[in-house]
Amino acid sequence: MSCEHVRSRLDDHLDGKLGSRESEEVRRHLAECSGCRAELAALEELRRRVEGLPVALAPSRDLWPGIAARLARPAAASAARSPWPAWSRWLGAAAAAVVCAAVITGYLLSRTESKPVQTATQAGRDVGAAFASASGEPHYRQAREQLLAALAVRRDSLSPQTLAVVSDSLRLLDDTIVRISGALEKHPGDSHLDRLLASAYRQELELLQRATRLPRES
């Protein structure tokens, strides 16, 4: 074994990753080569010093005030190209929840047979978008529960076929939300996943809203 070869294997040797045969060859070379022994010693010294590095380091100043100030503002810069209406970015989560409740109540109250055709798209987007802001998930869950309850109240007025399409789609969206949330758990802070999750929340809420205002079928 040449010195150059041994030196390229020293790291693995130290980490215990060499097979027994190669390990033995390295050991034999080291016994005869002071140059490579010095290399190994330097590697071991480096490792010792790395292990001695402090686990925590203090920043030059207290960073909390800067953080606290930003907690008061909803997530802004992370959503680079957001399709959501501008007002959702400036509302705090609490205010957004109030708006959401009002919108949902509005929908439930307006549910009459002969009202003119309106699309839920824009309103649903507003509601869904509100949950994409800071700490949105508990509010999303709350809105989802309210809408599911409203849907349960009127499920008898929908045909079995319609109910099947709606519940299959809800299951699909729930499934998607679980998968994306799982991915986020492993990759927290990934802005692409954030956008996908917010989108899935929004689509689920839009679907629930549409379902609560479908025309009576029986």
Partner 1 sequence: MTDPGANRGVGGRQTATGECAAASDELLVRRARQGEVGAFEGLYRANVGRVFAVCLRLCGEPSLAEELTQESFVRAWQKLGTFRGESAFSTWLYRLAVNVALGHLRRRLGQAQPVDELVGTPLDGGGEAPAPEAGIDLERAIAQLPDRARVVFVLHDVEGYRHEEIANLAGMAVGTSKAHLFRARRLLREALA
Partner 2 sequence: MSKTLLALITATAALVVPAWAQSPVHETRSLAPDGTVAIENLDGSVQVTGWSQGEVEVTGTLSKEAERLEVTGDVHRLKIRVVLKPGTRMTTDSDLEVHVPAACRVEVECVSASIAVAELRGQVELESVSGDVSVTGTPGELEVEAVSGTITVEAAPNKASLESVSGDIEVARAGGSLEASSVSGAVRILGGTLEGGEVSTTSGEIRLEADLGGRDSLSVESMSGGVVLVVPAGVNAEFELSTFSGSISSQLGPKPERSSDFAPGEELSFSAGSGGPHVDVSSFSGSVQLLTR
What residue ranges bind partner 1 (CB under 8 A)? Answer: 8, 11, 39, 42-43, 45-47, 49-51, 53-61, 63-64, 66-68, 70-71, 75, 78, 93, 134-138, 181, 184-185, 187-191, 197
Look up residue 146 and give its two tokens: 């309210």
- Which of 88, 133, 203, 209: binder of partner 2 (CB under 8 A)? 203
Helical ranges in the chain per DSSP H: 3-14, 20-32, 34-51, 64-71, 87-90, 93-109, 121-130, 136-153, 160-186, 191-212
Provide the minimum distance between the beta carbon of 134 and partner 2 in the complex, in angstroms, as a whole number: 21
- Work out whether 168 is an interface residue with partner 2 (CB under 8 A): yes
> Least CB distance from residue 121 to partner 1, whole Å?
25
From the list 47, 73, 155, 179, which residue makes contact with partner 2 (rule: CB under 8 A)? 179
> Which residue, chain included where needed, has tokens 């957004």?
96
Using the rule CB under 8 A, is 111 a contact of partner 2? Answer: no
Is residue 191 close enough to count as binding partner 2 by CB under 8 A? yes
* Burial (CB count <10 Å: 0-12, 13-18, 19+), residue 69: exposed
Alpha-carbon separation of residue 172 from 113, 167, 214 (angstroms): 29, 8, 20
Phi-psi region at 117: left, alpha or beta (left = phi > 0; alpha = psi -120 to 50): beta
DSSP string, 164-187: HHHHHHHHHHHHHHHHHHHHHHHS
Q: Which is nearer to partner 2, 23 or 169 (CB)?
A: 169
* Residue 129, both tokens: 């978008």
Contact window for partner 2 (CB under 8 A) among 24-32, 37-45, 86-94, 191-199: 191-199
Nearest of 218, 217, 202 to residue 120 by alpha carbon: 202
Number of Cβ atoms within 10 Å of the Cβ of 125? 18
- Binding partner of residue 176 among partner 1, partner 2, none, CB under 5 to 8 Å per kind? partner 2
* CB nearer partner 1, residue 19 or residue 59: 59
Nearest to 184 by CA among 27, 47, 192: 192
Q: Which does 11 bind (CB under 5 to 8 A by kind): partner 1, partner 2, none?
A: partner 1
Interaction between residue 162 and partner 2 (CB under 8 A): yes
Query: Which residues bind to partner 2, rule: CB under 8 A?
Result: 81, 83, 114, 116-121, 159, 161-162, 165-166, 168-169, 172-173, 176, 179-180, 183, 187, 190-193, 195-196, 199-200, 203, 207, 210, 214-215, 217-218
